[in-house]
């Protein structure tokens, strides 16, 4: 007997997404798949229905699974959600005929070291360090043990290549093609004056680098860590180390030119 082919559908709760999920469920079932709306670890594919935010939540909630994702976009133009609801039939045919590539998505890891212990986070788009009470923060920035700057400003974004078109892009960071093995360190409203000299541009670092942000003592309890849009607060943070994660997630890509057309349609 052949192994059952299980597919998870992970949908947000808006009307359009629920309608699309029902349609998907029917069409996949007709083609012999077993469709689950409760996450099944034996599935061969995760289909996420919603916008980019739904994709990010699905990845975090299911702890960065190895099962590949594909996104059906019912939100605004999405970077992770490449299939439109009207193209579901075409998507199912291409999936069955294996007409796709599997793309790796790099993640960023943060080791947040407080006085007593360290905490670990992984992000898909970016991890941001910023002041929790709209105050300027001071950070000592080093790359692989080399002191780069004493930063002063709103905060710092450490973004992945896939996340470079998200928050990073809005604050003037560069667009990095998703397959490139790099992280980008992007300042949020850097202050550059006679008193403080912070780099105004982002720095793109090699994939094996460790980026260290050391907090000045008076900011250790007034700093927020924002992971893919979700806030975390820790007491007595001393420093945070960032690196490319050993974990990866996977996404099916049905059109190799999609990235460039997405860029044009979203930003130009
Ligand atoms: P959300 O749904 O309001 O998303 C904000 C916007 O970011 C949406 O337009 C979404 O399509 C876009 N986006 C997300 N990931 C993207 C990517 N990789 N490339 C291009 N656009 C992308 O908020 P959420 O659901 O909580 O999503 C969290 C993300 O929002 C964060 O990871 C962060 O990158 C982004 N964000 C952006 C800004 C900004 O641009 N000023 C500020 C805060 C957060």
- Sign of the alpha-carbon dihedral angle for 188, 153, 196, 240: negative
Mean pLDDT to the nearest integer, 174-187: 98
The reported pLDDT for the residue numbered 73 is: 95
Q: Which band of pLDDT confidence, cut at 50, 70 and 90, is reported for residue 260?
A: very high
Ligand 1 pocket, residue 52 CB under 6 Å: yes
Mean pLDDT across the chain: 96
- When divided into structural domains, the chain yields a total of 2
The reported pLDDT for the residue numbered 218 is: 82
Q: How far is the CA of 6 from the centre of ligand 1 (A)?
A: 30
Residues 136 and 163 in one domain: yes
The reported pLDDT for the residue numbered 23 is: 98
Q: What one-character DSSP code corresponds to residue 83?
A: B
Whether residue 266 is contained in a domain is answered as no
Whether residue 263 is contained in a domain is answered as no
Of 51 and 1, which is predicted with more confidence? 51
Ligand 1 pocket, residue 187 CB under 6 Å: no
Instruction: Tell me the two tokens of residue 92.
Output: 């199912």
Atom of ligand 1 nearest to the CA of 159: 34
Q: Within 10 Å of residue 76's Cβ, how many Cβ atoms?
A: 10
The reported pLDDT for the residue numbered 76 is: 85
**Residue 172 predicted with pLDDT over 80:** yes
User: Last residue of a domain, which of 99, 116, 150?
Assistant: 99
Work out the end-to-end distance of the chain between its first and last CA atoms, rounded to an integer number of angstroms: 52
Protein residue with its CA nearest to atom 25 in ligand 1: 53
* Weakest mean pLDDT among 119-128, 210-219, 247-256: 210-219
Mean pLDDT to the nearest integer, 243-258: 96
Residues 111 and 242 in one domain: yes
Residues 118 and 228 in one domain: yes
- To the nearest whole percent, how much of the chain has pLDDT over 70? 100
Compute φ and ψ for 211, nearest 5 degrees: -100, 125
* CATH number for the domain that contains residue 67: 3.40.50.10330
Question: Following DSSP, what letter does each residue of 130-188 receive, concatenated?
Answer: EETTS--EEEEEEETTEEEEEEEEEEEEEE-TGGGGTHHHHTTPPP--TTS-EEEEEEE
**Residue 51 predicted with pLDDT over 80:** yes
User: Last residue of a domain, which of 99, 134, 154?
Assistant: 99
Q: How far is the CA of 231 from the centre of ligand 1 (A)?
A: 14
**Residue 2 predicted with pLDDT over 90:** no
**Residue 1 predicted with pLDDT over 80:** no
The reported pLDDT for the residue numbered 133 is: 85
Using only the alpha carbons of the chain, give its radius of gyration: 20
Ramachandran region, residue 172 (left: φ > 0; alpha: ψ -120 to 50; beta: rest): left
Whether residue 257 is contained in a domain is answered as no
Whether residue 209 is contained in a domain is answered as yes
d(CA 7, CA 156): 38
d(CA 184, CA 205): 6
**86 is in which domain, residue-wise?**
6-99
Of 167 and 77, which is predicted with more confidence? 167
Residues 199 and 75 in one domain: no
* CATH number for the domain that contains residue 168: 2.60.200.30
Distances (CA, A) of 201 to 19, 34, 135, 151: 44, 49, 21, 12
Mean pLDDT to the nearest integer, 141-169: 97
The reported pLDDT for the residue numbered 221 is: 82
Instruction: Tell me the two tokens of residue 146.
Output: 């080399």
Q: What one-character DSSP code corresponds to residue 3?
A: P
Residues 75 and 153 in one domain: no
Ligand 1 pocket, residue 229 CB under 6 Å: yes
User: Last residue of a domain, which of 74, 99, 124?
Assistant: 99
Residues 31 and 146 in one domain: no
Residues 237 and 127 in one domain: yes
Count how many Cα atoms sit within 13 Å of the Cα of residue 171 in the half-sphere of its side chain.
Answer: 23
Residues 113 and 135 in one domain: yes
56-115 pLDDT, tens digit each: 999 999 999 999 999 999 988 789 988 999 999 999 999 999 999 999 999 999 999 999
Supply the residues annotated as catalytic: 52
**Residue 8 predicted with pLDDT over 80:** yes
Ligand 1 pocket, residue 78 CB under 6 Å: yes
Residues 140 and 61 in one domain: no
Mean pLDDT to the nearest integer, 4-14: 96
Residues 152 and 135 in one domain: yes
Nearest CA to 126 out of 190, 91, 176, 197 is that of: 176
Residues 88 and 135 in one domain: no
The reported pLDDT for the residue numbered 124 is: 98
Say if CB 240 and CB 224 are below 8 A apart.
no
Residues 126 and 202 in one domain: yes
The reported pLDDT for the residue numbered 103 is: 96
**Residue 219 predicted with pLDDT over 80:** no
d(CA 187, CA 19): 41
Q: Please report which residue ranges of the chain form alpha helices under DSSP H.
A: 15-30, 52-61, 88-96, 167-170, 258-267
């Amino acid at each position: 007997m052949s192994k059952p082919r299980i597919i998870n559908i992970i949908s947000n709760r808006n009307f359009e997404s629920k309608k699309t999920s029902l349609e998907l469920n029917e069409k996949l079932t007709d083609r012999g798949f077993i469709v689950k709306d409760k996450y099944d670890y034996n599935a061969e594919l995760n289909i996420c229905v919603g916008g980019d935010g739904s994709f990010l939540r699905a990845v975090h909630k299911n702890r960065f699974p190895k099962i590949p994702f594909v996104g059906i976009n019912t939100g605004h133009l999405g970077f992770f959600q490449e299939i439109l609801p009207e193209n579901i039939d075409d998507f199912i045919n291409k999936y069955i005929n294996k007409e796709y590539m599997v793309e790796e998505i790099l993640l960023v890891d943060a080791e947040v070291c407080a006085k007593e212990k360290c905490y670990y986070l992984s992000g898909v788009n970016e991890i941001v360090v910023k002041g929790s009470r709209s105050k300027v923060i001071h950070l000592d920035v080093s790359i692989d043990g080399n002191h780069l700057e004493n930063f002063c400003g709103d905060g710092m974004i450490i973004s992945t290549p896939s996340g470079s078109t998200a928050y990073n892009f809005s604050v003037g960071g560069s667009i990095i093609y998703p397959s490139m093995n790099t992280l980008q360190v992007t300042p949020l409203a850097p202050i550059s004056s006679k008193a403080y000299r912070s780099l105004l541009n982002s720095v793109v670092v090699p994939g094996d680098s460790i980026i260290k942000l050391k907090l000045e003592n008076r900011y250790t309890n007034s700093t927020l860590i924002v992971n893919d849009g979700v806030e975390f607060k820790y007491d007595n943070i001393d420093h945070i180390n960032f690196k490319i994660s050993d974990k990866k997630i996977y996404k099916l890509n049905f059109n190799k030119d999609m990235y460039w057309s997405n860029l044009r349609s979203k930003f130009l």
